[in-house]
A and B are shown apart, each in its own frame.
Chain A
Amino acid sequence: EAGVTQFPSHSVIEKGQTVTLRCDPISGHDNLYWYRRVMGKEIKFLLHFVKESKQDESGMPNNRFLAERTGGTYSTLKVQPAELEDSGVYFCASSLMVRKGETQYFGPGTRLLVL
């Protein structure tokens, strides 16, 4: 069974440009999460999808970030326009269900550098 995949693995863009990150969860996982780790900080929650619905986007830093999950399969996270402080590693995770024992399986992350 394939794990969580993310594309691209790396992205280097200039300030003001747009970048779109993609996450493919494990097949059959209705729950999809985005997390971010900026340099020197902890991994922080961004948002949670259940199928195509946003359940919680309390961690999204501002309105330059837009996450979508059309059809309840893969998800995209768009940053427009990118700022220097958006640099970091963006992780996607998925889980089968939301309950106390559920395991979130993480992808390898997308390393974003904004110059």
Chain B
Amino acid sequence: QKEVEQDPGPLSVPEGAIVSLNCTYSNSAFQYFMWYRQYSRKGPELLMYTYSSGNKEDGRFTAQVDKSSKYISLFIRDSQPSDSATYLCAMKAGSYQLTFGKGTKLSVIP
């Protein structure tokens, strides 16, 4: 079983839609949870960082963590064409080594 499972998509939505991206994990030692956005031919860019169960909001983005279910989500409200990218969940148990999901490729259609 992979440590982190993420549906690679692709996911295509109309502009303005609410997008829901999800990851599940198996390693109970993971304490810190991140979402990265990666545009084509670029490196991953940190979007959201959380370390406790619950919700964290930043503008149009909400990160949700449910440690009891080992499930994390990223919601994007009022999606824009500029949100079209690959979204990667990442987790870590200690202080540095990130474990990534495969990434979900999102297209927001104008």
Chain A residues engaging chain B, CB cutoff 8 angstroms:
4, 31, 33, 35, 40-45, 48, 55-56, 59, 91, 93, 95, 98-109
Contacts and interface: CB of A to CB of B under 8 A. Distances in A.
A43 B95 contact: no
Contacts of A99: 95
Nearest to A33: B96
B109 interface: no
Contacts of A102: 95-96
Interface string B41-53: 1111110010100
Interface residues of B, number: 23
A42 to B, nearest CB: 5
Contacts of A106: 36, 43-45
22 contacts: A42-B100, A42-B101, A43-B44, A43-B88, A43-B98, A44-B100, A45-B98, A56-B97, A93-B43, A95-B96, A98-B95, A98-B96, A100-B31, A101-B49, A102-B95, A102-B96, A103-B49, A104-B96, A105-B46, A108-B41, A108-B43, A109-B43
Contacts of A35: 98
B43 A48 contact: no
A41 B98 contact: no
B95 A45 contact: no
Given A103-B49, A108-B42, A43 B32 contact: no
